[in-house]
């Protein structure tokens, strides 16, 4: 089958009015990735050499969302909504190129598995002309029924057009159909619109092909493959299914999730074996975690790297560009952004590090801030290996703290500190003997006077 060529046609022109959103339906994300991009990634994994998008409103945005996963994909605009066969024929130019396999997929069904597409293509390679992916939902209401006879699929009937007997069939249409390239246009052009809705149904190609003596089949797949998204309730259901699948995958790969149902991953999250993730952790897109890491509760990561044997959290936030190397410790209520933290460095609590380099085995005390932004531009802070930054220090960028330098607690540092240097950047303390009692008395009297005025 690998030698066969394949075109995947993604039907993504639905307006999605039930989403109640200005965003095109297929761009709503599941696990941080637009649902249409999930479909395209599955198609490419299953061997699609070309991807054709049938789009409507927001065509440019849909094409841009897909491009990273199917470079060179083409978009075809369906100007009128006249049914799925009419949508498929919008991509006539691509279909006519002569691919061995044509696979029609739904852009709003993000949980389609590459293996399901591969199974359809295997049937085409074995001589079938039309193959449909079916499934058996708990309640078939609303789905088209797959009507079989003598091991052949003879028709797909939309529920509104079904007889009472056909409505009792539990084997349903997923919307995923594979067609031999030599037959695709001949079958599509033969589709009519004599049905309850007056639309041109892609599913009618089954009955047309069967009537012409062509081989038509249905194969059964998991329910998730057919889960189409029409509103935000269904979007949440798809997210839950995707997360459950990813959690299982992570645990089987050697990652410990203490409370799996409270941990949320993105589509590209990568975590090494022997990492432990405590409850209530969120992984945004672009996060990579190495082996043997401990991630404490209530931490939030996005476009960040966590090196082997590091420890992060609780209540830690790693923003885009945070790059923790091996054996780093980032503690509670710390935020790191666009910074490299070298091996063994410690940033234990209540600290902000942005646009910085923190050297190996440096130690940043509680309340340390790299002051990287002056309201107009960002500036870099360099902290050398082995440096010690005392608590409640502000490092005003651009500034360099040398290796093994020592910054006294409470300092505001505005100038470079050399290697092994000691820097104080705070006002001199002034102490007035006995004045504490006098001040307390004056303040208490003022408070009583204010009460009396009320």
Render 67-111 in DSSP notation, one character per residue: TTTSTT-EEEE--S---HHHHHHTTHHHHTT--SEEEEEETT-TT
Output the pLDDT for position 2. Answer: 57
Question: How high is the pLDDT of residue 44?
Answer: 97
49-86 as b/e, with b when 16 or more CB fall inside 10 Å?
A: ebbbbbbbebbeebbebbeebbeebebbebeeeebbbb
In whole angstroms, give the CA distance from residue 172 to residue 218: 10
- Residues forming a β-bridge with 397: none
- What is the model's pLDDT at position 1? 46
Average pLDDT over residues 103-126: 97
CA angle in degrees (0–180, nearest 5) for 397-366-257: 110
Q: Residue 15 above 90 pLDDT? A: no
For 335-394, the pLDDT digits (tens) are 999 999 999 999 999 999 999 999 999 999 999 999 999 999 999 999 999 999 999 999
Write down the mean pLDDT value for the chain. 95
Contact 40, 108 (CB under 8 A): no
The full set of domains in the chain, from first to last, is 6-226 (3.90.550.10), 248-423 (2.160.10.10)
Q: Is 50 exceeded by the pLDDT of residue 56?
A: yes
Catalytic residue annotation: 349
**pLDDT computed for residue 426 by the predictor:** 87
Of 16, 120, 104, nearest in space to 58 by CA: 16
For strands 152-157 and 145-149, give the pairing.
Answer: antiparallel
Q: Minimum mean pLDDT among 186-200, 233-247, 248-262: which range?
A: 186-200
For the segment 125-148, the average pLDDT, to the nearest whole number, is 94
Beta pairing partners, 93: none
Q: Which residues are CB-contacts of 287 (< 8 A; sequence separation ≥ 6)?
A: 266, 268, 269, 270, 301, 302, 303, 304, 305, 306, 318
pTM: 0.90
Task: Name the residue among 247, 157, 264 with its Cα closest to residue 201.
Answer: 157
DSSP, collapsed to helix, strand or coil, labels residue 429 as coil
pLDDT at residue 106 tops 90: yes
Instruction: Look at 17-21, 30-34, 108-112 and tell me which has the smallest mean pLDDT.
Output: 17-21
pLDDT (0 to 100) of residue 429: 82
What percent of the chain stands above pLDDT 70?
100
Contacts of 217 (CB under 8 A, 6+ apart): 123, 128, 130, 131, 132, 151, 152, 153
pLDDT level of residue 3 (50, 70, 90 thresholds): confident
Which tokens in the block code for residue 113? 């598995």
Q: Is the pLDDT of residue 425 over 70?
A: yes
What contacts 167, CB < 8 A, 6 or more positions away?
140, 145, 159
Residue 277 in 3-state DSSP? strand
**Segments in 202-291 forming alpha helices (H):** 204-211, 232-252
């Amino acid at each position: 089958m690998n030698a066969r060529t394949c075109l995947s046609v993604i039907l993504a022109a639905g307006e999605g009015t039930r989403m109640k959103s200005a965003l095109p339906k297929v761009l709503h994300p599941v696990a941080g990735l637009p649902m249409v991009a999930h479909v395209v990634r599955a198609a490419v994994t299953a061997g699609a050499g070309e991807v054709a998008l049938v789009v409507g409103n927001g065509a440019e945005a849909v094409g841009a969302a897909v491009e990273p996963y199917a470079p060179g994909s083409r978009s075809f605009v369906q100007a009128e909504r006249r049914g799925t066969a009419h949508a498929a024929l919008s991509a006539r130019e691509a279909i006519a190129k002569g691919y061995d396999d044509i696979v029609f997929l739904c852009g709003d069904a993000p949980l389609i598995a590459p293996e399901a597409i591969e199974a359809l293509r295997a049937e085409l390679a074995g001589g079938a002309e039309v193959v449909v992916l079916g499934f058996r939902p708990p309640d078939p209401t609303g789905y088209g029924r797959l009507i079989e006879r003598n091991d052949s699929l003879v028709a797909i009937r939309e529920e509104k057009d079904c007889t009472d007997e056909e409505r009792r069939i539990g084997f349903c249409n997923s919307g995923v159909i594979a067609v031999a390239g030599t037959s695709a246009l001949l079958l599509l052009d033969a589709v009519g619109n004599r049905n309850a809705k007056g639309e041109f149904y892609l599913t009618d190609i089954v009955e047309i092909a069967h009537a012409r003596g062509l081989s038509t089949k249905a194969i059964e797949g998991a329910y998730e493959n057919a889960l189409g998204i029409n509103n935000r309730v269904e979007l949440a259901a798809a997210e839950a299914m995707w997360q459950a699948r990813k959690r299982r995958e992570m645990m089987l790969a050697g990652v410990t999730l203490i409370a799996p149902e409270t941990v949320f991953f993105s589509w590209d999250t990568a975590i090494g074996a022997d990492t432990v993730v405590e409850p209530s952790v969120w992984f945004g897109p672009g996060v990579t975690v190495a082996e043997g890491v401990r991630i404490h509760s209530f931490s939030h990561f996005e476009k960040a790297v966590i090196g082997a044997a590091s420890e992060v959290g609780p209540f830690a936030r790693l923003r885009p560009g945070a790059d923790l190397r091996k054996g780093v410790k980032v503690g509670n209520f710390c935020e790191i952004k666009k910074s490299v933290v070298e091996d063994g460095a410690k940033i234990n609590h209540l600290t902000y590090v942005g646009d910085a380099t923190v050297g190996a085995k440096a130690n940043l005390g509680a309340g340390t801030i790299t002051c990287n932004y002056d309201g107009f531009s960002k500036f870099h802070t360099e902290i050398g290996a082995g440096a010690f930054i005392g608590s409640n220090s502000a490092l005003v960028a651009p500034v360099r703290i040398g290796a093994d330098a020592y910054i006294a607690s409470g300092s505001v540092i505005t100038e470079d500190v050399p290697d092994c240097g000691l820097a104080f950047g705070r006002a001199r303390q002034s102490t007035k003997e006995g004045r504490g009692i006098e001040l307390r008395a004056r303040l208490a009297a003022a408070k009583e006077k204010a009460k009396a005025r009320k």
